[in-house]
Structure 1
Amino acid sequence: MTNYFNKDLFIIRYEKPFFLITLLIVAIIQFTINDAMRSLPIILMAFLFIVISYVIFSWVYEKIKTIRELKNEKLNSELSLLRSQINPHFFFNTLNNLYGLAIEKSEETPKTILKLSEMMRYTIYDGKKDNVNLEKEISFLKNYIDLHTIRHHNKLDLKFEINNKQPNLKIAPLLLINLLENAFKHGAEKLEKDAFIHINIASHSNILNFVIENNFDDTETSKGIGLENLKRRLQLLYPNSHDFNTSKHSNIFRAELSLYLNQ
């Protein structure tokens, strides 16, 4: 996970000592003010007050801690579910392409199987990690593009510009594939001619910018889970540290994602 829960963890770790110190200071001030009047009953009452306060606070503290742990477990489970939704959808399309190559007895079939193997390795092993190097995510996107363009009979204007000044920058795995898959699914694979996909990835000063633009079949009305999946993952993984915008103009779709990474 990212530093999403760091604030809550800080509060859980230090709120009890802070409360006890506060009680001690209050007790010292009280005893100082009442020094002339101090007697055994007053001391016992003050001590009893501290003990009761501590017991009540400990009970409340444990309840709050339990609620937060359950909330974190729920969010982790939701993230796992979102990641599991990516793989079946992605591999369904990929296996369809591979099946087509096999039917055609294409010489590209072994090459495609090898690339599919590399992508499966990435999704199965690296996909479970909290973060991966940006270079690995970019390589995954390149393999995905290569696999699709191998069998893409229609001419496709595809541009992939990379200006990665921080190759070791880490991001959540399988975060960018939704947008690329969306561009192929609703654009290049539907259009009979003049299809294009233009991609730009740039990183600097711990900021990652990803822009993808493609034309699409404006008669299509179906909506996939890809964009909603991505939006929810961004909310969970990068709250208050990302910008994600999409726009449509005529038959051109554009998506812009910026991640502000504290690494």
Structure 2
Amino acid sequence: MLVIIGVVIVVFNDIFGKVEGFVEFIALYFIIIFITIAHWLFKQIKAVIRLKNEKSKTELLHLKSQVNPHFFFNMLNNLYGLVDKDSKKAQKLILKLSDMMRYSIYEGDKDTVLLSEEISYLENYIELHKMRYHKVIDVQFNIDTNNNDYEIMPLLFIILLENAFKHGVENLRENAYVHVYIKAQNSEVNFEIENNFDPSEDKHEEGIGIKNLKRRLELVYPKKHTLTLSITDAIYNAKLNILL
């Protein structure tokens, strides 16, 4: 509409001659057009960014909701069989499982949690597995921090830890091990985990959990993380580095 009015004004001036201040008027007119278009573009870009952010948040919440459901399901099945055999042990398992579920529901829904809280969550997971297995497992959990309690996205490391037990400890009858290393300093967090596994029982193919982890890292730490997964003989190694 503004453009049509401008054309009419220009044609009118060509026909009826120059009008005093016409040049200034045209300049002002095009400035107004430019501002109007720029404002419209800004609103459109802002709307697109808002929709993209909302979509990312929705996707992230969906990804978080997928973490650990089958672990809790398996643990509840184990508890069912343990209640009659060893009620005291079952009670301890229920308390630890309750703590983990509480963390997953309430802390897992947050954007960030303290690294110390995430470490406690991993330790509870390890203790649960030690209690449910009737075999010796070499589990080492090494932590090296500079006393700074960094904030980090929740439920990141549990996927790698869960894979180590699921693909390694579950299938090995003896000499199973899981070694975990966490180092945090200078606003950088390094997580490394190594476990052995039985190649005849498990091909260690990338599953939903790893795909979930990769996507969450892309959404929250774009260009600020590296995830390396490697298999050498019957040893699986995963390294995750995050710049905060």
Residues 200 and 239 of structure 1, relative CA distance in 2, 3 Å threshold:
same
1:142 and 2:123 aligned: yes
1:218 and 2:189 aligned: no
Residues 136 and 43 of structure 1, relative CA distance in 2, 3 Å threshold:
same
Structural mapping, 1:92-131, within 5 Å: 92-131=73-112
Greater alpha carbon shift after TM alignment, 181-190 vs 214-223? 214-223
1:59 and 2:51 aligned: no
Q: For 1:161 and 1:178, how far apart are their aligned partners in 2?
A: 18
Match of residue 208 from structure 1 = 189
The Cα shift of 1:104 comes to 2.6
Q: For 1:227 and 1:254, how far apart are their aligned partners in 2?
A: 13
1:161 and 2:132 aligned: no
Q: For 1:139 and 1:98, how far apart are their aligned partners in 2?
A: 22
1:86 counterpart SS class? coil
Q: How large is the RMSD of aligned CA atoms in angstroms?
A: 1.4
Task: Give the number of equivalent residue pairs.
Answer: 223
Aligned amino acid, residue 138 of structure 1: I
Q: For 1:148 and 1:80, how far apart are their aligned partners in 2?
A: 27
- CA-to-partner distance for each residue in 1:152-208, whole Å, 9 max, x for gaps? 111101100111224420000111100000000000011111100000011010110
Match of residue 70 from structure 1 = 51
- 2:173 aligned residue (179, 192, 209): 192
Which is greater in Rg? Answer: 2
- CA-to-partner distance for each residue in 1:57-76, whole Å, 9 max, x for gaps? 11122111111111111111
Aligned amino acid, residue 24 of structure 2: I
Match of residue 175 from structure 1 = 156
Greater alpha carbon shift after TM alignment, 57-66 vs 133-142? 57-66
| TM-score of the aligned structures, taking structure 2 as reference length | 0.87
| TM-score of the aligned structures, taking structure 1 as reference length | 0.81
The Cα shift of 1:106 comes to 4.4
Aligned amino acid, residue 229 of structure 2: T
Q: For 2:153 and 2:147, how far apart are their aligned partners in 1?
A: 15
Aligned amino acid, residue 58 of structure 2: S
Residues 143 and 167 of structure 1, relative CA distance in 2, 3 Å threshold:
farther
- CA-to-partner distance for each residue in 1:63-115, whole Å, 9 max, x for gaps? 11111111111111110110011142332232233233225334211111111
The Cα shift of 1:123 comes to 0.8
Aligned amino acid, residue 51 of structure 1: I
Residues 77 and 163 of structure 1, relative CA distance in 2, 3 Å threshold:
same
Identity across the alignment (%): 49
Aligned amino acid, residue 103 of structure 2: Y
Match of residue 226 from structure 2 = 243
- 1:49 aligned residue (26, 30, 42): 30
Residues 167 and 143 of structure 1, relative CA distance in 2, 3 Å threshold:
farther
1:161 counterpart SS class? strand
Segments of structure 2 that go 5 or more residues without pairing to the other structure are: 1-19
Structural mapping, 1:5-20, within 5 Å: none
Query: 8 Å contact 1:97–1:148 — kept in the other structure?
Result: no
Q: For 2:229 and 2:81, how far apart are their aligned partners in 1?
A: 32
1:257 and 2:240 aligned: yes
Query: 8 Å contact 1:133–1:167 — kept in the other structure?
Result: no
